[in-house]
Amino acid sequence: MHRMNEHTQAVLKWREALSVLPDAHFFDLIRMYLGEVKTPYNKQKLIEQLSAFIRKDETKNTLFKLLSETDIMIVTAIMELPFASQDKLNEFFTNHFSFANLFERLMNLEERLIIFRTKDTRSGTCVFRINPYLQNDFENIIDINLLLKSENNYVLISQSVKLTAQLLFAVFTFITNYPTMCKTDGSLKKKTHSLLQEIFPAEIDSKFFQTLLTSFLNIGLLKNYEGELKNNFFRWQSFAQLSEIEQYCYLCAATKFCNYSEMSRRANLVYEILLMMQNKSFEKKILYQAIYLENEKTLYHKNIVGSTRLANYGGGRFASLMQQNMLIQSEAKDETEEVFEIDNSFIATLVNTMTIFGLLQKTRSTIDGTEIYISNCVHLFDKNNQNNVQAKEQKIVSIDAGFNVTIMPGGSLQSLLPLAQCMEIKNVDTVTLCEINRSSCMRAFDENVTPKKIYENLNQVLIHQVPQVLKDSIDEWYKSYNSASIYKGYVLQVSSEKQKIVENNPYIAEHIKKIMAPGIYLMDFETAEDAKEIIEKSTLDFIGQVKTVKTEKAILPFQKMQNTQSKKNTNEKNQTELKKTTSATEEERAKFFSQMRSELAKQNLPQEQAEGLLSRIQRKIILSSTQLRGESVKSERIEASGMDFQGKLHIIEYAITTNNLIELVYDDVTNENGKKSLIGHPIAIEKQIGDIFIKLRVEPSGEMLTLSVGQARLIRRIRGSVFRQ
């Protein structure tokens, strides 16, 4: 029933688009398909007759037989792109068609009644839609692979994802060990380059590391405090709860800073692209096209159901951290309402980052040397599907008598992360080598990590128990550390009759860092939101809100990736149907055109009428010999050249009246734009002695130019839209 309503609404939109056409355009269209209009006439009845003509099996069969691969590609883009406006289609096909070429193809599809224009009710933008009487047929045959053609001829170079849980752990530890690694402008110091070569000899280079640092900063995993880098451990913990593929998607999305809502959407975009590329390989321009398409779909998903999806994620500790670190850009601005549309510049940056991190691998075609991109992430999606983050951790760590730590591959970031707080990184290769020493433990104590917590974290992944000699050393270092202390934090004050209740409450007790005096407790809360959350869990209603702290709005935590597409047109069945239904051979098409030309020749029409009908045959408007009616042809001139000033002037004036585009072609670069050919809307004509000048709004840039008509070798009017915007 819903489907029927949707179809009915589409039919009504199509009929409305016809009914509001200017009479001249409406009757030209009717004459092309139905013949001369007899008076008295009724527009609605004529529209119904046109609808009946389109619904005929014979009409449909011919229409689909005449579809070219390019026709299907454009129709597929209109069906796949939400809100397929001319601007979006021009951006999408920027590497395939010139603006004028695409414009003419769209106009041709309009006059062939395959597509039409209507205003989208949500955005108010004029968008292209498929003729509802052809919609079902196209849904059965469109092939997304025509838009996103996978390349199979390339040289495969063995390479894996550079990002791993082990590497992120090592980088986290490296940052903890060397907080002053960067210059004031954010670039790496010369000493840091040397340390990277020493510690990460085969794993990462400076470019990789600098890109990773940028992502860490933009996503809030890292902060810069007066020239010192500091890991935000609580945010890292939240980040580590994501699956590997989700972590890497966020890191790629964080190449450029944006608000939290947009960061999540961009991460989901990376996820969608990698998901789509599991068994595909794309030429560079096709990859850009795929990213543009997926971005439009995620934007559409956000606009339509985004608020519902986001509502499924609560606040909590990470929520408050995101608010403090990443999202306070403007107190008065609601960042969740912003929409960021990506351009080729951002897409290039995103692809570059995905390549640097090894999620994409760049190789070359064996045929013409074209750059080809393939995905290295199939195994990560397998892990994600198996819910590997929640799996039991492997025992992958060993400690020798000198407190040297060896970490084998296989652990998750969630299990490795706590170890980084008390270790110093030494070398990263197949295995990671670290050391536990006094200075590394002192840093851990500064972060409120107790010896007991260190032992618990180690025992989670150690092959054997923590060596007693190491325990003795850590206990001794902790005793020395506590001989003098400076505290900064949240203090809980409780009356004498409530002290036992507080100290015995499991939620409050584990956060008591130190009892300063009877009823005075130093808590380990990082933020007021942390304190509020724990107090609520404790159910102790006599503890009020944190004093003197401003109430802040809650921000969402990292989101799990979701496949936002409800339908993927990639199955084998659809591809087979495409070939059977629309892939008529060139011989079949040539036979049809020859037959129509032969039928036209038999009529012995005047030259002007014959040329007009021949043009319709070439433009695939003629679907039946019954349309070969001479009286339906209206004389029109679309180009003038050389010294034909009057012809040029006529074409320009007509284009201004009908709001058509024109093309001006020059023999050499004499115009101020420096191009031999320009496309645009003529705005006005200025006659001067010896020449005529035209004021042209160049498309798609919108630049206004004044150009010589006399110096133009050719001026051509580009046929306009049947359906006026």
pTM value is 0.73
Give the total residue count for the chain.
725
The DSSP call for residue 631 is G
The pLDDT of residue 599 is: 93
Phi, psi of 621 (to 5 degrees): -85, -35
> What is the gyration radius of the CA atoms in the chain, in angstroms?
34
Q: Which segments of the chain have a pLDDT < 50?
A: 1, 305-339, 388-391, 549-555, 565-581, 670, 725
The pLDDT of residue 630 is: 87
The whole-angstrom separation of Cα 335 and Cα 260 is 8
The whole-angstrom separation of Cα 128 and Cα 722 is 12
Nearest to 46 by CA among 21, 75, 80: 21
The edge-to-edge listing of strands for the beta sheet with 360-364 is 281-283, 371-375, 360-364
The pLDDT of residue 393 is: 59
Question: Position of tokens 């985004």?
Answer: 306
Two structure tokens written together for 26? 């409406």
The pLDDT of residue 127 is: 92
Are 712 and 664 contacting, i.e. CB atoms less than 8 angstroms apart?
yes
Nearest to 455 by CA among 442, 439, 468, 443: 468
The whole-angstrom separation of Cα 595 and Cα 588 is 11
The whole-angstrom separation of Cα 233 and Cα 248 is 18
The whole-angstrom separation of Cα 172 and Cα 77 is 43
CA 636 to chain CA mean position, Å? 45
Are 666 and 711 contacting, i.e. CB atoms less than 8 angstroms apart?
yes
Two structure tokens written together for 246? 């989700």
Residues 572-627: tens digit of each pLDDT: 444 444 444 455 788 888 999 999 999 999 999 998 889 889 989 999 999 999 99
Q: Average pLDDT over the chain, rounded to whole?
A: 82
Can you list the pairs that 31-39 forms with residues at least 24 positions away whose Cβ atoms lie under 8 Å?
31/629, 31/631, 31/632, 32/111, 32/616, 32/621, 32/627, 32/632, 33/113, 33/621, 33/627, 35/626, 35/627, 35/629, 35/632, 36/629, 36/631, 36/632
Q: What is the dihedral of CA 664, 665, 670, 675, to 10 degrees?
A: 90
CA-to-CA separations, 168 to 123, 464, 492, 616, 707, in angstroms, rounded: 42, 24, 36, 63, 59
- The residues, ordered by sequence, that sit 6+ positions from 554 with a Cβ below 8 Å of its Cβ are 315, 319, 320, 323, 529
Are 292 and 347 contacting, i.e. CB atoms less than 8 angstroms apart?
yes
The pLDDT of residue 341 is: 63
Map residue 251 onto helix, strand or coil: helix
- The residues, ordered by sequence, that sit 6+ positions from 343 with a Cβ below 8 Å of its Cβ are 91
CA-to-CA separations, 427 to 166, 171, 204, 394, in angstroms, rounded: 12, 11, 12, 21
The pLDDT of residue 167 is: 93
- What percent of the chain clears pLDDT 70, i.e. is strictly above it? 84
- Specify the amino acid at residue 131: N
CA-to-CA separations, 505 to 92, 326, 499, 538, in angstroms, rounded: 60, 33, 10, 7
Percent of the chain as helix, strand, coil, to the nearest 5: 50, 15, 35
Map residue 710 onto helix, strand or coil: coil
- The residues, ordered by sequence, that sit 6+ positions from 469 with a Cβ below 8 Å of its Cβ are 401
The neighbour count for residue 550, using CB atoms within 10 Å, is 6
Two structure tokens written together for 477? 């270092």
